[in-house]
A and B are shown apart, each in its own frame.
Chain A
Amino acid sequence: MKNKLVCHLIANYPDFDQSLKIAEALASGGAESIEVQFPFSDPSADGPYILKACDEALKAGFTVDKGFSLVESIIKKTKLDVYIMSYANILLTMGIEKFVKKSKASGVKGLIIPDLTLNNDDGLLNSGRKYGISIIPVLTLTTPLKRVDEILFREPEYIYAVLRKGITGKSTIITEENITFLKYLSGKKAKILGGFGINSRDQVKALTPHLYASVAGTVFVKKIDEGGEDILPDLKTMVKELTTDEL
């Protein structure tokens, strides 16, 4: 048996070609789908490793245009579903509707934009509906249930559940609180993605019954940070190890 894992990577980190190879390595290890983060100069919901990687991706010349070509190449090479994760300003600057339209044209499945939330999204949800792109809300353990219900009322196809308080990159412990929260969510229609601080097979295994898929990112960024071509087979192995039920 295999546990589903969405693998998160940062566009243009460490550079364009390598980030494409990283996506292929993650795919060959058995990633369920790929989440590509478009780096932003002032992210407010990333842990320190992702932050540093985004800084470097920007220094290495990331542009939104490059981001879309990367996404297109990833889709072409891996045939996997791809989601874009980024921040409000990247969308607003291009024009929110235009960004959504471009995502659709590039074959993107959905968008995860943590700082554009229900009733504060400048039309993102509507554009998503118009062009057939999933707008994936990001919920946390501390989101009041009333708000959760409000968000679910819009019938998102997916929801992203952050399984940790805060964003400082420490490991997430799967607590009773997490499971209760996930149970509440799983009573609803949306497919649940869960992540933040996922780095072990045991976590993925524990979460699998409650989720559509787990999401892991920082764990790969740490590996990529070590550098070199030979990280690619390592990444593949990591995905394998995270997703297999029995070793």
Chain B
Amino acid sequence: MKYKEYFGEFGGRYVAEVLRPSLDALEKEFLNIMDDEDFWTEYERLSEDFTGRPTPFLFAENATKKIGGAAIYIKLEGLANTGAHKINNALGQVLLAKRMGKKRIIAETGAGQHGVATAAACAKLGLPCTIYMGEVDIKRQRPNLFLMELYSAEVVPVSFGSRTLKDAVNAALMDWAGSFEDTHYLIGSALGPSPYPGMVKTFQSVIGKEVESKIYELNIDVEAMIACVGGGSNAIGFFSPFLEKDSPRLIGVEAGGTGIGEGEHASRMTGQGQKGIIQGYKSLFLANKDGQVLPTHSISAGLDYPGIGPELAHYGETGRIEYTSATDSEAVEALKFFAKNEGILFALESAHAGAKAIQLAADMPKDKAVIINMSGRGDKDIFITAKLLTPDKWINFMRNEVSEYEK
């Protein structure tokens, strides 16, 4: 086996029989492509020409000086086409689906980043796609909805449950149960029933491999690598070459939201995560004493999810990955800090990792380095950040736009 189905006790394939044949077929094809040179040649060609890989690796010199501790490096994954790491996985899975002869792609999206990546990859590779998106998310993510539709994806609103990301996953699973013969379900994070966690990690591991070669090239002494953790795809890909080694420290940052109360955060590892089987995999989830999933909150829609990928949960239990959380306001401070000092715009998700890096680097010696994975860039967030940071000006602008339009 070249990928794992279980990670300690987490993972597995807890799906109704109706989905089993399609997962079996997917697993088989995934194992086939793992050492198929043609597949990887095409994947790498598109990664270069279409995605823009390798993404830059920046020495954040100004930030380092200002903080006065360890050297800070930033993997600028957000400079990939469509603005986040999500494209690595979308591209890989669409290529795989084409090889399986699938005629249609379905996906879920929360913030819309995975939806945008999927829609773009489908446009590039010529497959129609349907994206499920909760009604609540549609309301707050109009710009990404517009982009998906521009790439000619069909976006289907999800009107049940909490009408957010987790419900979009459920809707996609339901579609797939009836459509798997010609349809591939392109899951957006390192979670779900096997083979998804292992497969998504494989496609995201390009991040970690590029970082590893930079570490050698620049000969830096890395003390810690820091990534934000929603479902966990950017983190697992970024950490992948180092998971079986003892160093550097690997640090996952969850959404601390506005507080530690129920519904105020999305901290599974540092909060009250409990063992569960949800959406096809066993891991840690935010749920009540009966096992009903609890509401979550984060300023960043990408971290606003009640579960965590099974491999990340496992490495949390073994201690290889350390978990911590950053609050909404810490993330916003980090966003401002790196914008001002480095000319780099973090996605709100990634800014959670940035926030913890600032704190950690301060206490580390100067000859050490920390690496942040900037999983996405922050252009997508301006409807949240501009409203928050310059409310009057932003609202005026919006008013103007509307009155211009109504003329």
Contacts and interface: CB of A to CB of B under 8 A. Distances in A.
Interface of A: 40-45, 48, 51-52, 55, 58, 63-64, 87-90, 92-94, 114-117, 120, 122, 137-140, 142-144, 147, 162, 165-168
A58 B292 contact: yes
Contacts of A115: 14-16, 277, 280
B161 A143 contact: no
Contacts of A137: 17
A89 B288 CA distance: 11
Nearest to A144: B21
A140 to B, nearest CB: 4
Nearest to B178: A166
Contacts of B290: 63-64, 90, 93-94
Contacts of B67: none
Interface in B150-168: 160-161, 166-167
18 contacts: A40-B292, A42-B279, A43-B170, A64-B290, A88-B14, A88-B278, A90-B290, A92-B276, A92-B277, A93-B275, A93-B287, A94-B290, A115-B280, A117-B16, A137-B17, A139-B17, A165-B178, A166-B175
Given A44-B280, A143-B20, A93 B174 contact: no
Contacts of B170: 42-44
A42 B178 contact: no
A162 B18 contact: yes
Contact of A147 (B12, B17, B174, B291): B17
Nearest to A164: B178
Contacts of B287: 41, 89, 93
A44 B14 CA distance: 11
Chain A CB within 10 A, most for which of B21, B277, B290, B292: B290
Interface of B: 12-18, 20-21, 160-161, 166-167, 170, 173-175, 177-179, 274-280, 282, 285, 287, 289-293
Contacts of A87: 277
B17 A88 contact: no
Those 10 A-B pairs whose CB atoms lie nearest each other, nearest first: A166-B178, A93-B291, A88-B277, A114-B16, A89-B291, A41-B292, A41-B293, A140-B18, A45-B16, A64-B290
A90 B280 contact: no
Contacts of B17: 114, 117, 137-140, 143, 147, 162
Given A43-B170, A44-B173, A116-B14, A55 B161 contact: yes
A117 B178 CA distance: 19
Contact of B179 (A42, A43, A166): A166
B174 A94 contact: no
Given A41-B287, A168-B174, 10 more contacts: A43-B170, A45-B16, A52-B160, A89-B285, A92-B277, A92-B291, A93-B274, A93-B276, A165-B18, A165-B178
Contacts of B280: 44, 115
B159 to A, nearest CB: 9
Contact of B16 (A42, A44, A122): A44
Given A42-B293, A44-B174, A117-B16, A89 B160 contact: no
Contact of A90 (B12, B160, B291): B291
A43 B173 CA distance: 10
A213 B151 CA distance: 49
B198 to A, nearest CB: 16
B174 to A, nearest CB: 5
Given A52-B160, A89-B276, A90-B291, A117 B18 contact: no
B201 to A, nearest CB: 21
B103 to A, nearest CB: 16
B37 to A, nearest CB: 31
A162 B173 CA distance: 17
B161 A42 contact: yes
A167 B18 CA distance: 9
Contact of A44 (B15, B20, B274): B15
Nearest to B274: A93
Contacts of A143: 17-18, 20-21
Contacts of B177: 45, 165-167
Nearest to A65: B290
Given A167-B178, A168-B178, A117 B20 contact: yes
A198 B266 CA distance: 40
A87 B290 CA distance: 12
Contacts of B174: 44-45, 166-168
Contacts of A52: 160
Contacts of A122: 277
Contact of A120 (B12, B166, B275): B12
B18 A142 contact: yes
Contact of B289 (A58, A93, A120): A93
A55 B160 contact: yes
Contacts of B291: 40, 64, 89-90, 92-94
Nearest to A168: B178
Contacts of B18: 45, 140, 142-143, 162, 165-167
Contacts of A43: 170
Contacts of A58: 292
A205 to B, nearest CB: 26
Chain B CB within 10 A, most for which of A41, A45, A58, A120: A41
A229 B57 CA distance: 67
Given A64-B290, A115-B14, A44 B279 contact: yes
Contacts of B14: 88, 115-117, 120
Contacts of A162: 17-18
Contacts of A92: 275-277, 282, 291
Given A41-B293, A93-B291, A138 B278 contact: no
Contacts of B21: 142-144
